[in-house]
Amino acid sequence: MLKYSINIIIFLFSITLYSQSKVIDHSEYKDRYGLRVGVDIFQPIYSIFDEDKKGLEFVADYRISKRFFIASEFGYSEATNQEDFYNYYTNGQYIKVGADFNAYKNWLGLENVIVIGLRYAFSKFDQTVNEYTVNADPFLPPQTISTPVSYDGLNAQWIELVLGIKAEIIHNVFLGFSFRGNQMINSKEPENFKNLYVPGFNRVYLNDNGFSFNYTISYLIPLYRK
């Protein structure tokens, strides 16, 4: 997965460098401001190859100054995960809100973005333990309990550091990639069961941290110039 991520970053940078040849030489040129909306194309494609993982994420950002954007992502996710002694299913929705800074200084007329951003994220979800293995007596074989146990009304809040890129491949259409380092703030967990997977956060590792990423295609709706 890391190899694919590196390849897409190289590809997007190549597009950015190529597009720099399209420079507008105009002393009174004004930047475009507007709403960019799109979708993460990775999750629907990945679910074709892994039926245990499904989801859909929509993305949006709104330019508020020359280098800053208000940004948000929202979607849903469902996943079945297998651990050493139990199998569980998670499904729920999430929303992320925050801001992005464009660290790339474009040539005149270009609107490519190297993203450095921050998000606050909230997820509401349910967990179902499909089956679990009990080995209370070391002299007896393990016993697998296959009666599902459901936990509803769970939630989690976390912060994300965002690093990514958005490159305009054709007029108003942007292809993007972002990597997110996640740190959990708090999480409502069921009794005797830890939230090891949270929609939007993905796998929760030690110290309540984790990572996620997306590949997006988005469209810019220009509203005004200044």
| The two structure tokens encoding residue 73 | 């992502």
Q: Where are the domains of the chain?
A: 2-20+28-225
Beta strand 68-82 with 113-134 is unpaired
Q: Is 14 helix (H, G, I), strand (E, B) or coil?
A: helix
**Beta strand ranges found along 83-196 (DSSP E):** 86-102, 113-134, 143-145, 149-170, 173-188
| The two structure tokens encoding residue 46 | 């990945």
Q: Is 72 helix (H, G, I), strand (E, B) or coil?
A: strand
Beta strand 197-198 with 113-134 is unpaired
Rounded Cα–Cα distance for residues 170 and 156 (Å):
38
Q: How would you write the pLDDT of the chain (226 residues) with one tens digit per residue?
A: 545 554 555 555 555 545 444 445 556 778 899 999 999 999 999 999 998 999 999 999 999 999 999 999 999 999 999 888 889 999 999 999 999 999 998 877 788 999 999 999 999 999 998 887 877 566 777 777 788 888 999 999 999 999 999 999 999 999 999 999 999 999 998 887 788 899 999 999 988 999 999 999 999 999 999 8
Q: What is the pLDDT of residue 135?
A: 73
Question: Cα 223 vs. chain centroid, distance in angstroms?
Answer: 26
Q: What is the pTM of this model?
A: 0.85
- CATH fold of 2-20+28-225: Porin (2.40.160)
Q: Is 31 helix (H, G, I), strand (E, B) or coil?
A: coil
CA distances from 95 to 32, 68, 141, 149 (A): 27, 20, 44, 27
Q: What is the pLDDT of residue 42?
A: 94
| The two structure tokens encoding residue 174 | 């942007």
